[in-house]
């Protein structure tokens, strides 16, 4: 029983190898035709035309017959019954083709041109190198083509006898040895792979049957689990409903807080409109802008799908638009780049208040009624820290202004919020035109998520 099974396995291995060779043989046919035409073209004028035409005709006819033979094998419904005959005729066809290529080194060899001699050798070597990849799975087929193709070239070089041709003969023999070794290695590897494939096919069938049995067993377990999952889904539905209600409640809270702050802002504007004192009017305007900075947070959270984080790009853009309207500065351009940064509400409010003060100061003092540019950039730094830069190209701060010992309420607020609320630090850079503030603080929620970076990475808003 085992011997019969082994014989069947060996037969399947042989059939698979022969099928692989026939499947790749069409490439060799095309290469043979192209090389034959090129060789004839190169030797035309160096060799007798009759010999060249006869050699080309025989080569093309042989190649055409091989192509027909290959196609008949591929179209045969069951080639297993005549596998010996198919393999035998393949070897015979390759042997005749190899003989024709070897004949080119005998009958087409131009004695007056070493370059053309080398080209013939190069063409034959290329054909043999191609045969390594195509036919080495059947070693007899490879040898049937390679030996009659290479042997005449080496002999012809040896017969000429000078130093150059002896070296060329030696190189041809060395090339033949290397290609034979490579073909043998490929042959062994191919047979090993096909043997593994056929050997494991029976084991695969056995494993498949075992998996089918286990699959039936798992189906029974799945049916039991479905009953448990049905109960879990009921519980999850209740939890999901409770979460939705909580989310709606939080959104409603943010909405009402925002509305209340808008009422406060409106009252401040109304009161400011009745004041005659310019300083008091400016104080009301600054206070309303601070309340507006906090109201924007609640508005964004109300409109967003996430009620836990504020996307800084949206927040900074709305804040900048609002301040441009409040201070009526149409000639000032504000560019914003946030790179997908997100903050919790606890951090977004002090960060927004700091930006509110810095932008307001630039709009009031930096440009003196002229046009200008304010750049706002936020980006992650190190592992869990954020950096926010606010820079203008205005007239710059006076040298005697010390941020950490400021006399104005706005700068005191900036320093206090940066240190006490955000636990970070803020510095002034006067080395460039205008003024640049650099705020650095630790992100309490950790580094921004990859989803956040992809959804808003690199967006630049210009106001």
Model pLDDT, residue 243: 67
Q: How confident is the model at residue 131 (pLDDT cuts 50, 70, 90)?
A: confident
Q: Provide the pLDDT for residue 376.
A: 92
Contact at 8 Å (CB) between 377 and 334? no
Q: Where are the beta strands (DSSP E) in 215-279?
A: none
pLDDT in tens, 149-173: 889 988 888 888 888 889 888 998 9
| 3 confidence band (pLDDT: 50, 70, 90) | low
Q: What is the pLDDT of residue 417?
A: 86
**DSSP code of residue 308:** S
Q: Give me the pLDDT at residue 335, please.
A: 92
Please state the domain count of the chain.
2
Contact 400, 447 (CB under 8 A): no
Q: Which of 186, 209, 232 is the last residue of a domain?
A: 209
What share of the chain has pLDDT > 70, as a percent? 87
Contact (CB, 8 A) for 187 and 137: yes
Decide if pLDDT at 453 tops 50: no
CA 71 to chain centre: 41
Looking at the fold, whether 205 and 335 belong to one and the same domain comes out as no
- Which of 158, 181, 209 is where one domain is finished? 209
Final residue of a structural domain among 180, 209, 238: 209
Does residue 186 sit within a domain? yes
Token couple for 45: 């004028």
pLDDT at 348 over 70: yes
> pLDDT per residue over 377-397, tens digit each?
998 877 778 899 999 888 888
Q: Give me the mean pLDDT over the 39-58 stretch.
A: 87
**Residue in the block written with tokens 């096919």:** 201
Residue 162 domain-assigned (yes or no): yes
Q: Is residue 205 located within the same domain as residue 352?
A: no
Let me know whether 54 and 198 are in one domain: yes
Q: How confident is the model at residue 21 (pLDDT cuts 50, 70, 90)?
A: confident
For residue 178, being part of any structural domain is answered with: yes
For residues 189 and 265, the model is more confident at 189
Query: What is the band of 463 on the pLDDT scale with cuts at 50, 70, 90?
Result: low
Does residue 9 form part of some domain?
Answer: yes
Give the pLDDT mean for 291-297. 74
Residue 18 has pLDDT above 70, yes or no: yes
Confidence of residue 246 (pLDDT cuts 50, 70, 90): low
Mean of pLDDT values over 286-301: 74
Q: Which of 386, 290, 296 is nearest to 342 (CA)?
A: 386
**Residue 25 belongs to a domain:** yes
Cα–Cα distance between 208 and 219 in angstroms, integer? 16
User: What number is the average pLDDT over the span 395-409?
Assistant: 77
The set of residues, in sequence order, having a beta carbon less than 8 Å from that of 61 and lying 6+ positions away, is none
Distance (Å, whole) CA 343 – CA 355: 14
Q: In this structure, are residues 368 and 328 in contact, taking their beta carbons and an 8 Å threshold? A: no
Residue 312 domain-assigned (yes or no): no
197 or 143, which is more confident: 143
What is the helix (H) or strand (E) element at residue 7, kind and residue range?
helix 2-43
Do 27 and 134 contact (CB within 8 A), yes or no?
A: yes
Q: What is the pLDDT of residue 211?
A: 86
Residue 123 belongs to domain spanning:
2-209
Whether this prediction's pTM lies above 0.85 is answered by: no
Mind listing the pLDDT tens digit for each residue in 190-220? Answer: 888 887 877 777 677 778 888 888 888 888 8
* CATH number of 434's domain: 3.30.565.10
CB 418 within 8 A of CB 425: yes
Confidence category of residue 454, pLDDT binned at 50, 70, 90: very low
Question: Mean pLDDT score of the chain, rounded to an integer?
Answer: 80
- Among 8-12, 300-304, 343-347, 441-445, the range with the most confident prediction by mean pLDDT is 343-347
Spacing of C-alpha 282 from chain mean position: 55
Question: Per mean pLDDT, which range of 29-38, 192-201, 294-303 is the poorest?
Answer: 294-303
Does 34 map to a domain?
A: yes
Mean pLDDT, rounded, for 172-176? 89
The pLDDT of residue 457 is above 70: no
pLDDT at 98 over 70: yes
Asked whether residue 231 is assigned to any structural domain, the reply reads no
The pLDDT tens digits for 326-343 are 888 888 899 999 877 888
- Whether residue 362 is predicted with pLDDT greater than 70 in this model: the reply is yes
**pLDDT value for 452:** 37
pLDDT of residue 411: 81
- The yes-or-no verdict on residue 1 having pLDDT over 60 is no
The one-character DSSP state at 458 is T
Find the mean pLDDT for residues 102-122: 85
Residue percentage of the chain with pLDDT more than 90: 4
């Amino acid at each position: 029983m085992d011997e019969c099974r082994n014989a069947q396995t060996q037969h399947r291995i042989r059939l698979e190898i022969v099928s692989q060779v026939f499947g790749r043989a069409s490439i060799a046919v095309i290469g043979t035709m192209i090389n034959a035409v090129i060789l004839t073209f190169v030797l035309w004028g160096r060799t007798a035309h009759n010999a060249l035409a006869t050699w080309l005709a025989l080569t093309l006819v042989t190649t055409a017959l091989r192509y027909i033979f290959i196609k008949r094998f591929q179209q045969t419904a069951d080639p297993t019954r005549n596998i010996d005959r198919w393999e035998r005729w393949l070897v015979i066809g390759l042997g005749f083709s190899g003989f024709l290529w070897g004949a080119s080194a005998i009958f087409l060899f131009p004695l007056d041109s070493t370059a053309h001699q080398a080209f013939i050798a190069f063409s034959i070597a290329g054909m043999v190198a191609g045969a390594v990849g195509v036919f080495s799975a059947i070693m007899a087929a490879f040898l049937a083509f390679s030996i009659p193709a290479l042997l005449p070239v080496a002999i012809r070089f040896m017969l000429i006898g000078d130093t150059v041709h002896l070296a060329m003969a030696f190189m041809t023999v060395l090339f033949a040895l290397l290609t034979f070794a490579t073909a043998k290695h490929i042959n062994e590897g191919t047979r090993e792979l096909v043997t593994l494939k056929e050997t494991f096919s029976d084991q695969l069938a056995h494993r498949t049957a075992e998996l089918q049995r286990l699959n039936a067993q798992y189906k029974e377990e799945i049916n039991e689990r479905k009953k448990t999952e049905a109960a879990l889904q009921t519980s999850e539905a209740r939890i999901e409903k409770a979460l939705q209600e909580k989310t709606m409640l939080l959104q409603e809270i943010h909405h009402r807080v925002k509305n209340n702050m808008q009422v406060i802002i409106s009252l401040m504007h109304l009161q400011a409109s009745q004041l005659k004192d310019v300083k008091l009017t400016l104080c009301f305007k600054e206070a309303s802008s601070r309340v507006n900075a906090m109201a924007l947070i609640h508005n964004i959270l109300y409109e967003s799908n996430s009620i836990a984080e504020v996307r800084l790009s949206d927040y900074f853009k709305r804040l900048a638009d609002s301040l441009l309207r409040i201070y009526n500065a149409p000639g000032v351009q504000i560019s914003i780049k946030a790179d997908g940064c997100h903050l919790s509400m606890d951090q977004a409010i002090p960060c927004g208040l700091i930006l509110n003060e810095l932008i307001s100061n630039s709009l009031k003092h930096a440009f003196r009624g002229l046009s200008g540019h304010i750049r706002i950039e936020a980006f992650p730094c190190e592992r869990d820290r954020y950096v926010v830069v606010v820079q203008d190209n205005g007239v710059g701060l006076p040298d005697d202004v010390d941020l950490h010992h400021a006399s104005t309420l706005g700068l005191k607020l900036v320093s206090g919020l940066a240190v006490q609320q955000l636990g970070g630090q803020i510095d002034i850079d006067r080395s460039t035109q205008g003024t640049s503030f650099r705020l650095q603080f630790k992100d309490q929620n950790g580094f921004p998520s990859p989803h956040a970076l992809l959804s808003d990475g690199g967006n630049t808003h210009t106001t």
